[in-house]
Amino acid sequence: MPTLRINAPSRSIACLAIPSLAFQCELVEHPGLLGTPVALSDEAHSRVADLTPEARRHGVRAGMTLRDAVELCPTLSILEPRPALVARFARDLVEAMAAVSPLIEEAPAAEGGAGVVFADLRGTEGMYPRLGDLKRAVFAGVPPQLRAQLGVADARFTALRAAYRAEPGAALHVPLAEAPAFLAAESVTHLPLDIDTVERLQLLGIETCGPFAALPRHAVEAQFGLEGGVAWLAASGEDPRPVRPRPWERERVVEHVQAEPPLVSRETVLHALEQMLGRALRQPRARHRFVRLVRLRAETERGALWEREQVLREPLGDRTRLWTLLRSIVEYAVFPGPFSLVTLELAGLTDESGRQHSLFVEQTRRREQLDEMVRHLKVRFGESPLARVVDVEPWHRLPEHRRALLEYDP
């Protein structure tokens, strides 16, 4: 069994990839479609974004209009993309990689975007001395139907290409010495170069990494600048680009609320969020700390995703100010439909703040006293005895649909 190198240079990078995550997610949800001609439409529902090999055999191609695709293949099943589902599976991948390393990076769009995650494995060699151990630890958190592929190498580009060339559900390790030969056949379109540079290379008859790496480095840098030099190193198996984790984001608290029935009106979303904020700030990890990033995510029953992210100019630890920010995000938002799941994430928790605390905390104290009282009542009665009246569909012609009681659960 291949083993990871333990001695220096220990720059091992793992890359977990699911080519065409959106398509795989849909196939997981519709296992009966495996082995049949299936196409995934784009978000505008007008063109084919991805397809199965069975559909390809009928002549269907990505980018084709759906009408043309159906004419070519009358038995074609067309699936609509569901961003919420894709985002959820993408988060699963990140969590799966976070199980083996604290330094995780979601790949930028140029390297595959959602569905590709890098992990810096330096320092974990003792925990996962063999490739099989690493593979088991990573794949334990990934649904097997997603057919994830794991690549391990000493450089970022090599790990990425190894992940794409690994068999579905398998891992591929490319040692440093074998990297140039491994990458030689890779297309230059995969290199970290802009489109114009790739076109110039192709005009020069350089289609793959092998001939590109055979050029003198100084000549490549003279022609294509620093970017060319980085690409040359990548093609030689020595990609200098590190994994760029955002460790401060890992310090976070997350609150979820599933709404039954789904939250229709803006007011109900606001009330749910206000309670989630209170709960998030009371989590031990967030107590007496300050927030640098707020992320709101909501899903409709049909899988549409609404997401907002706000990086704060200065860390905030005050509930009132955080609530003012959240409210302003929600009040001006256009929702894709009634929400069945709402997630609030407070990330980048820090101890620092440049703000002087107010001496007048009476109002805050009253609120905390109320919340404390409700928690006591909840312990005693099993559920919160307080509720708020919220507008649900105040325009509805049937009175019972207009307003509702929302449990007050701080």
Partner 1 sequence: MSPERARTQRITQRAGVRTTSLRSIGMPRGLLVRVDASAHPIAVARADARGQRHAESRVEQVEEVWRVAEAWWRESTQARTYYRVILEGGRPLTLFRDDATGAWFEQAYSTPGHTTAHE
Q: Which residues contribute to the site for partner 1 (CB under 8 A)? A: 29, 85, 88, 255-261, 263, 268, 272, 275, 279, 299, 301-303, 340-341, 387, 389-390, 392, 394-407, 409
The type of residue at 390 is V
Minimum distance from residue 69 beta carbon to partner 1 (Å): 24
CB of 98 to partner 1, least distance (A): 15
User: Which residues pair with residue 173 across a beta bridge?
Assistant: 152
**Shortest Cβ distance from residue 94 to partner 1 (Å)?**
14
Q: How far is the CB of 377 from partner 1 (least distance, A)?
A: 17
Closest CA to 267 of 143, 174, 388: 388
Name the residue nearer to partner 1 (CB basis): 95 or 314: 95
User: What are the Cα distances from residue 329, in Å, to 228, 239, 265, 292?
Assistant: 42, 40, 15, 16
Identity of the residue, 272 or 294, whose beta carbon is nearer to partner 1 in the bound complex: 272
Torsion angle of C-alpha atoms 349, 367, 269, 106, degrees rounded to 10: 10
Among residues 11 and 82, whose Cβ is nearest to partner 1? 82
Q: Is 403:393 a contact under the CB 8 Å cutoff?
A: no
Residues present in the chain in total? 410
Closest CB 345 distance from partner 1, rounded Å: 12
- First-last CA distance in the chain: 53
Q: What's the min distance (Å) between Cβ of 267 and partner 1? A: 11
Closer residue to partner 1 (CB): 186 or 255: 255
- Rounded to whole angstroms, the Cα distance separating 305 from 308 reads 10
How many other C-beta atoms are found inside a 10 Å radius of the C-beta of residue 311?
Answer: 10
- Structure tokens of 70? 């159906």
* Cβ at position 78, least distance to partner 1 in Å: 17
Q: Which is nearer to partner 1, 307 or 314 (CB)?
A: 307
Our CB check for partner 1 shows the closer of 247 and 394 to be 394
Crossing angle of helices 319-331 and 266-282, rounded to 10°: 150
Give yes or no for a contact between 262 and 300, defined as CB atoms under 8 angstroms apart: yes
What one-character DSSP code corresponds to residue 146? G
Instruction: Please identify, using beta-carbon distances, which residue of 368 and 407 lies nearer to partner 1.
Output: 407
